Homo-oligomer: A and B are copies of this chain.
Amino acid sequence: MKSPVRICMIGAGRVGKNHSNFISRHVPAGKIVTLVDPVTDILHATGEEFGIDNRFASLEEALDKSDFDAVVITTPTFTHKQLVLSAAQYKKHVFLEKPMALNLEECDQMIEATRSQGVLLQLGFMRRFDPEFSSAAKRIQDGEIGKPMMIKSLTHGPGLPPAWARDLNTSNGMLAEVNSHDWDTLRWLMDANYERVYTEVANFKGAERNVDTPNFYDNVLVNVKFESGALGMISGICPCDYGYDSRVEVYGDKGIMVIGELKGQAVTICTNRDHGLVTPIYRTWPERFSWGYIYELEHFVSSIQNDTKPIVGGEDGRWAVAGVLAGTRSFLEQRPVSLSEVLS
């Protein structure tokens, strides 16, 4: 048995804790040896929780004072580029959360840095590893529903994103922070790039909560035309309150495929015939995608151990960013936007 890959977890907050939990509990081939977070309280609380003794305020300090093979980056989008560049410089393999970056230039720099340093770059699109999504993808590739004609992908998340994530100065908003997964899912399942996008947005829940971020939206519908001629739709609602909802439908010229469902646990009760049957809904993304997280992290460490290329990387992250940029420009300018406008 190979020795475990030594990991530096960057970010001790919500996503950092999620990944630390899955690695330490269910991915023996990886071992978190170092934790980085600039917020001292969170750094130590998460460090205690997962028994990680090496704790630092910055990646620079961690690189200087501890030894590891790879980093897992779970910090806000605007920090990604610098962290990846530093990690690559020190020959650390990189697992990077979505969205990859704020713009394509940053994507290019990260792709180039990891390539030139010979380290792996895997993007945190865990749906690629979810048993349902990955089996669906394989079945589409095998031709079960014929040539894909149309796809609809939704991600609706329960809570209001943090301030940085909804400000178009520090993030590309919900289309990026929540719907990056859908952008990736579209390209992956349709095996086609986007050609043109049109976006409508609305603000209902933010208005209720007195969110005053300029251009804030909490509902979004994107209409996508693919280079293959196929059509796509992305829908986002955040906060949606009702649960964590991630479902896809694909229509091929031979049939329909439905991926995922609202229902969480298969435990149904009825105690009042006027109220009806009650079944749990998926409440959170770790609940919905537990196997996706376990398998993507397993895949990362096993790619390092076996010196193979991860199945989802910088190019995929870059395309998702391109979609986000076109989609955002579309609603700001109230017109369809060609990908060629943002890619050039």
- Chain A interface (Cβ within 8 Å of chain B)? 1, 24-28, 51, 131-132, 135-136, 139, 144-147, 149-150, 152, 156, 158, 196, 198-205, 208, 219-225, 229-233, 235, 237, 240-245, 251, 253-281, 283, 294, 334-336
Contact = CB atoms under 8 A, between A and B. Distances in A.
B135 A265 contact: yes
B258 A268 contact: yes
B198 A336 contact: yes
Contact of A233 (B147, B201, B235, B264): B235
B242 A272 contact: yes
Number of copies: 4
B273 A242 contact: yes
A51 B258 CA distance: 39
Contacts of A152: 152, 235
Contacts of A224: 200
Nearest to A22: B26
A153 B130 CA distance: 27
Given A221-B231, A242-B272, A255-B271, 10 more contacts: A1-B51, A147-B204, A150-B237, A158-B273, A219-B231, A219-B251, A220-B231, A240-B251, A262-B277, A270-B281
A330 to B, nearest CB: 9
Contacts of A259: 266-267
Given A149-B202, A204-B229, A277-B262, A269 B235 contact: no
A219 B149 contact: yes
